[in-house]
Chains A and B, each alone.
Chain A
Amino acid sequence: MKDYVRFFDKFTFALLLLLALAGILLIYSAGYFTRETHYLKQAAWLLVSLAGFFAVFSLKIDFLFRTSFAVYATLLVILALQLAVGGTVARTKSWFRLWGIGAQFSEFVKVPLAIYLARLLAQYEKMDGWAFIKVLAIILVPVALIVLQPDMGVSFILCSFIPLVILLKKVRPTVLVVSFLLVLLGGIVGWQSVLKPYQKDRIISFMNPSEYKTSTGYHVIQSKIAIGSGGLNGKGFMKGSQSRYEFLPARHTDFIVSVIGEELGFVFIGILFFVFFLLFYRQFHFSFQNDEEFYFVYLFNGLILFQFLVNVSMAIGFFPVLGVSLPFVSYGGSSLLSFFVGEAIIFRVKINNYLA
């Protein structure tokens, strides 16, 4: 037990706490003038997330991998059930009403899917055609279910596993081309039959935001104005006019980086980026006891990195507005819990490494 305290990566954990606490402050600022209490809920969720973190941290790694298929299958069943009976919140079916607190269930797919994929990748010595297609299917089935909810953000983030698998397993080009064509075919079918008009609009609007002043393009423009007007030092905490006068959309969730940019300026944007950089750097660099651990660490870190880059690019109009939040910082309890649970496994892997 003493060793667990000694070898626990306290520095990285401090980074995570720092991000989460900064998030609560920013959520407070973003909702202050509209008298919203999201920050209180987020604080409560942080406590839940920390509890979840230490609960998972205390589990044995091999238990997680052994039960991974069962957990994955259960998730698929729940997602399917949700589609059939899920409550509708803001035109999406992804919210479970649970003890009066809305939980975005699709967020909970990220960690179990990463664990199951890590196990599969460790099993296949060589990734031949069939194996790759099987892995693709394992990723795309939950993705499709989540698209149907519809939650564009989470499903898109889950797709980041595909390039990660390709990079990690060195898939043959011919296999890639065939799979790409298959996915493209599926995508076209999906676009024609599955996507709702407003979802299509969002993707189209990314191509030319100036032409969509009032809808999604408007959001990107307002976000850029917020960030750009912040300058080096920002307008001061809780003093951002874009945020205060409600020009910024979803400022406590998807566009929280715009609040930072406007109110705290480029200095704090730089600090935020540096904290994330340190986090990723530290979570990528250690040795492993076995292959599953390696794959999990790369898959899950890769996913966080991808989500971070998508969120930040979205705020400055380099990426479509898909409803992707900033990991650890944005408002969203399910997301926070999910990331802390995933981090718990990495921390455990790391400490096993020291103790071995």
Chain B
Amino acid sequence: MYLSKRKLPPEFVKKAAAVSTVFLAVAFTAIFVAFWSIQIVHNVTYRQLAIRNITRTVPLPAPRGMVVDRFGAVIAENKINFTLYLVRENVEDMDKTITRASFFSGKSVDEVRAIIAKYKKHASFYRIPVKSNLPLGTVIFIQSRQDEFPEFEIGQEPSRTCPQAELAAHVLGHISEVSEEELDAAPPGAYHLGDYVGRSGVEKQYESFLKGMKGAQTVIKNSVEKIQEISGESKPEIGDTIVLTLDLGLQRYIEELLDGESGAVGVLDLKTGGILALVSKPAFDPEIFSAEMELEEWRAISSDPRKPLQNKFLQGIYSPGSVFKIVMALAGLQENVIGPGTTVSCSGSQMFYDRVFHCWNPGGHGVMNLFSALENSCNIYFYNLGRRMDIDTIARYARLLGLGDVSGIDLPNENGGLVPSSAWKLEAFRQRWFPGETISVAIGHGSLNVTPVQLLRMIATVALRGRMPRLHVLQRIEKQGRAVREFAPEFDQVPIAAENFEMVIEGLFRVVNGSGTGWGARVDGLDICGKTGTSQIIAKENPFYKRLTKEKKFMPHSWFVSFAPRKDPRLAMVVLVENGGDAGAIAAPLAGQIYRKYFENEGLR
């Protein structure tokens, strides 16, 4: 027998058994309590973590709302757009993937790298949009070889399309991808990287209505993010339809009239304050922003000296020229500085404060009263009126009539312009106002700066004999064909007596229908009242004035503000042709053509 007989004392064996029992009891109690704590006490926490592990919410983009004109003609809608996505998690060889992405998207390797780098803070399962507007051929190529390219996904999303291209581009505005800074500032979930957001025009103004409600898809994924099943889905909701007051037919007509020119036209429905046409030339195609814009394209459009991106109607700043004489006449009448019988003799020039001021007619107009002074746009008459008033009174009336301040039209990024006053000069230049400066302001020059929309609102107020309309491009907002918001016309009363307006209107009637500067706007059977204006680029006192103004870029801007008919007026209009030269020759005939077109169509409708 190899084995020894037992030598260990029985107490030792018993003790060993007892110790083992105690150890077992302690150890098992410990693990039992530990599991109890995790499974029972912290169950809810871990259950949530388990759910979070497997569920992913994928936002489904909502189609942007449509933008249509007052008759339902489409200005902006949506089309299906294929987007190439890259999912880093499924990438096997990043260099290979980047080469492929570059091939599919037509972008350079460095551009692709830059796009991927932008999403480095996102989880690796995030779908990085590499290229939108993917050609159908590429879509088919990738989808038919999906197992060769597991890192790529093709997404179908609605994208912005503008069937009318440049038509009404400045009203519509453009959209572009949301930036990372904006994402950080926005409330969580409102926008995701890769979303588009309105940047200008109606797209910006009514962004909250247009953007719609995002949908979401809840999917169950495994640990390597392969989708196992779709567990829930909420459909995206298309944005509201924005119905504009625009009449696209009229808009198109005006845009074609101004083809090749640079300038702005606004046509206003005086009954409602709604804008019927808003043209700013040259224009741009909003769709090039919605797609991925090439850098070259962006450089070309943003550095164009004619500023196609600027909405000249509400951002362009010009001196009003003789159009300002309307404001002067109203101020003079209301302040009793002049009356209908007040006359001034024009000999072509006159000395004020030791300086000679000229009329545009070097031969002089002879004896002028209010009506003939307006009709002939006589500078001498208004110089004298300016001398009899102080700058602050003039500024007060200019402001009353909406100049030097934003009009409040429902379009973003409006410019305020400037109406000079003694207080302004003191603040801006630390200098008192010189009375000589008032003489220039009296004929709409000097530091006066206005936008076309301000002049449109001013002439509309004149047309309505003191009722100032609130301008708007929104007619109503529709949700699934049902109007949810309708624009109600709003008017403010300007504290100027109605008879003063009537007197000025008589002058404005003569401008077009008498022997005045605006004869070019005349339309048979329609009582058009208007006022021409010429906004000098270089001063007449410049010794090279004659020679320089032969060049287009130094020719003065040409204004014509007007309304019709004289009684119960329905339309107000502003026409500005940049470097158009003589206002009577350029802007006024354009206005006449627009009136003719509009009232012809009215007859037909």
State A209–B47 Cα separation when bound (angstroms): 19
Q: Which residue of B lies closest to A233 (CB)?
A: B39
Q: Which residue of A lies closest to B228 (CB)?
A: A245
Mask of A262-292 contacts with B, CB within 8 angstroms, 1/0: 1001100110010011001100110111111
Asked if residues B13 and A288 are in contact (CB atoms below 8 Å), the reply is: yes
> Which residue from A66, A227, A245, A287 sits with its C-beta under 8 Å from B39?
A227
Question: A225 — which chain B residues lie within 8 A by C-beta?
Answer: 46, 49-50, 53
Interface status of A261 (Cβ within 8 A of chain B): yes
From B2, B36, B54, residue with most partner A Cβ within 10 Å = B2
Minimal beta-carbon separation of A213 from chain B (angstroms): 12
Interface status of B529 (Cβ within 8 A of chain A): no
Interface status of B599 (Cβ within 8 A of chain A): no
Query: Within A206-237, which residues are at the interface with B (CB < 8 Å)?
Result: 222, 224-232
State A167–B5 Cα separation when bound (angstroms): 22
State A230–B4 Cα separation when bound (angstroms): 52
Minimal beta-carbon separation of B124 from chain A (angstroms): 10
Question: A141 — which chain B residues lie within 8 A by C-beta?
Answer: none
State A289–B1 Cα separation when bound (angstroms): 13
> Which residue from B16, B19, B223 sits with its C-beta under 8 Å from A247?
B223
Asked if residues B27 and A309 are in contact (CB atoms below 8 Å), the reply is: yes
> Which residue from A246, A265, A287 sits with its C-beta under 8 Å from B224?
A246
Minimal beta-carbon separation of A280 from chain B (angstroms): 6
Interface status of A241 (Cβ within 8 A of chain B): yes
State A245–B54 Cα separation when bound (angstroms): 7
> Which residue from A224, A284, A287 sits with its C-beta under 8 Å from B38?
A224
State A61–B36 Cα separation when bound (angstroms): 42
Interface status of B300 (Cβ within 8 A of chain A): no
Asked if residues B3 and A65 are in contact (CB atoms below 8 Å), the reply is: yes
Interface status of B431 (Cβ within 8 A of chain A): no
Asked if residues B8 and A291 are in contact (CB atoms below 8 Å), the reply is: yes
Interface status of B434 (Cβ within 8 A of chain A): no
The number of residues on chain B lying at the interface, defined by a beta carbon within 8 Å of a beta carbon of chain A, is 42
State A244–B228 Cα separation when bound (angstroms): 11
Question: B186 — which chain A residues lie within 8 A by C-beta?
Answer: none
The number of residues on chain A lying at the interface, defined by a beta carbon within 8 Å of a beta carbon of chain B, is 52
Question: A66 — which chain B residues lie within 8 A by C-beta?
Answer: 2
From A167, A225, A247, residue with most partner B Cβ within 10 Å = A225
Interface status of B221 (Cβ within 8 A of chain A): yes
Asked if residues A291 and B38 are in contact (CB atoms below 8 Å), the reply is: no
With A231-B40, A241-B54, A291-B8 already in contact, the answer to whether A224 and B24 are too (CB < 8 A) is no
Interface status of B17 (Cβ within 8 A of chain A): yes
Interface status of B121 (Cβ within 8 A of chain A): no
Asked if residues B39 and A265 are in contact (CB atoms below 8 Å), the reply is: yes
Mask of B206-247 contacts with A, CB within 8 angstroms, 1/0: 000000000000001111100010000000000000000000
Q: Which residue of B lies closest to A235 (CB)?
A: B50
> Which residue from B13, B32, B46, B223 sits with its C-beta under 8 Å from A228?
B46
Q: Which residue of A lies closest to B20 (CB)?
A: A284
Question: B28 — which chain A residues lie within 8 A by C-beta?
Answer: 273, 276-277
Asked if residues A289 and B46 are in contact (CB atoms below 8 Å), the reply is: no
Asked if residues B46 and A227 are in contact (CB atoms below 8 Å), the reply is: yes
Interface status of A122 (Cβ within 8 A of chain B): yes
Minimal beta-carbon separation of B421 from chain A (angstroms): 66
Q: Which residue of A lies closest to B36 (CB)?
A: A266
Asked if residues A284 and B17 are in contact (CB atoms below 8 Å), the reply is: yes
Interface status of A300 (Cβ within 8 A of chain B): no
Mask of B20-47 contacts with A, CB within 8 angstroms, 1/0: 1100100110011011101110110111
Interface status of B567 (Cβ within 8 A of chain A): no
Minimal beta-carbon separation of B521 from chain A (angstroms): 75
Minimal beta-carbon separation of A57 from chain B (angstroms): 18
Interface status of A313 (Cβ within 8 A of chain B): yes
With A290-B3, A294-B8 already in contact, the answer to whether A232 and B39 are too (CB < 8 A) is yes
State A290–B221 Cα separation when bound (angstroms): 59
Asked if residues B24 and A277 are in contact (CB atoms below 8 Å), the reply is: yes
Minimal beta-carbon separation of B201 from chain A (angstroms): 46
Question: A290 — which chain B residues lie within 8 A by C-beta?
Answer: 3-6
State A328–B237 Cα separation when bound (angstroms): 57
With A292-B3, A298-B16 already in contact, the answer to whether A245 and B24 are too (CB < 8 A) is no
Question: B2 — which chain A residues lie within 8 A by C-beta?
Answer: 62, 65-66
State A222–B53 Cα separation when bound (angstroms): 9
Interface status of A54 (Cβ within 8 A of chain B): no
With A228-B39, A232-B39, A289-B6 already in contact, the answer to whether A241 and B50 are too (CB < 8 A) is yes
Asked if residues B228 and A228 are in contact (CB atoms below 8 Å), the reply is: no
State A280–B23 Cα separation when bound (angstroms): 11
Interface status of A242 (Cβ within 8 A of chain B): yes
Asked if residues A273 and B3 are in contact (CB atoms below 8 Å), the reply is: no
Question: B19 — which chain A residues lie within 8 A by C-beta?
Answer: 167
State A117–B53 Cα separation when bound (angstroms): 48
Question: A292 — which chain B residues lie within 8 A by C-beta?
Answer: 3-4
Question: B27 — which chain A residues lie within 8 A by C-beta?
Answer: 305, 309
Interface status of B7 (Cβ within 8 A of chain A): yes
State A313–B24 Cα separation when bound (angstroms): 15
State A338–B4 Cα separation when bound (angstroms): 26
State A242–B49 Cα separation when bound (angstroms): 10
Question: B31 — which chain A residues lie within 8 A by C-beta?
Answer: 273, 309, 312-313
Question: A222 — which chain B residues lie within 8 A by C-beta?
Answer: 53, 223
Asked if residues B13 and A287 are in contact (CB atoms below 8 Å), the reply is: yes
Asked if residues B43 and A228 are in contact (CB atoms below 8 Å), the reply is: yes
Asked if residues B5 and A266 are in contact (CB atoms below 8 Å), the reply is: no
Question: B228 — which chain A residues lie within 8 A by C-beta?
Answer: 245
State A228–B51 Cα separation when bound (angstroms): 12
Interface status of A109 (Cβ within 8 A of chain B): no
With A225-B46, A291-B6 already in contact, the answer to whether A247 and B34 are too (CB < 8 A) is no
State A230–B221 Cα separation when bound (angstroms): 19
> Which residue from A65, A227, A245, A277 sits with its C-beta under 8 Å from B223?
A245
> Which residue from A62, A298, A301 sits with its C-beta under 8 Å from B3?
A62
State A119–B13 Cα separation when bound (angstroms): 17
State A242–B55 Cα separation when bound (angstroms): 12
Query: Within A281-325, which residues are at the interface with B (CB < 8 Å)?
Result: 281, 284-285, 287-292, 294, 298, 301, 305, 309, 312-313, 316, 318
Asked if residues B53 and A228 are in contact (CB atoms below 8 Å), the reply is: no
State A316–B41 Cα separation when bound (angstroms): 14
Asked if residues A224 and B6 are in contact (CB atoms below 8 Å), the reply is: no
Minimal beta-carbon separation of B230 from chain A (angstroms): 15
Asked if residues B38 and A122 are in contact (CB atoms below 8 Å), the reply is: no
From B24, B31, B38, residue with most partner A Cβ within 10 Å = B38
With A227-B46, A245-B220, A284-B21 already in contact, the answer to whether A168 and B16 are too (CB < 8 A) is yes
Asked if residues A245 and B17 are in contact (CB atoms below 8 Å), the reply is: no
> Which residue from A168, A244, A247, A273 sits with its C-beta under 8 Å from B32?
A273
State A256–B24 Cα separation when bound (angstroms): 22
Asked if residues A242 and B53 are in contact (CB atoms below 8 Å), the reply is: yes
Question: A245 — which chain B residues lie within 8 A by C-beta?
Answer: 53-54, 220-223, 228
From B17, B36, B49, residue with most partner A Cβ within 10 Å = B49
State A293–B10 Cα separation when bound (angstroms): 14
Minimal beta-carbon separation of B222 from chain A (angstroms): 4
State A81–B19 Cα separation when bound (angstroms): 40
Question: B24 — which chain A residues lie within 8 A by C-beta?
Answer: 277, 280-281, 284, 305
State A294–B3 Cα separation when bound (angstroms): 12
7 closest residue pairs by CB, A with B = A228-B46, A245-B222, A229-B50, A246-B223, A266-B39, A284-B20, A231-B43
- 10 other A-B residue contacts (CB within 8 Å) besides A227-B39, A227-B46, A228-B39: A168-B16, A224-B38, A226-B50, A229-B47, A245-B53, A246-B223, A247-B54, A266-B36, A276-B28, A316-B38
**Which residues does A use to contact B, with CB under 8 Å?**
61-62, 65-66, 122, 125, 167-168, 222, 224-232, 241-242, 244-247, 261-262, 265-266, 269-270, 273, 276-277, 280-281, 284-285, 287-292, 294, 298, 301, 305, 309, 312-313, 316, 318
23 contacts between A and B (CB under 8 A): A62-B2, A65-B3, A66-B2, A125-B7, A224-B46, A225-B50, A228-B38, A242-B50, A242-B53, A244-B222, A269-B39, A270-B32, A277-B24, A284-B20, A287-B10, A287-B13, A289-B3, A290-B6, A292-B3, A294-B16, A298-B16, A313-B34, A316-B35
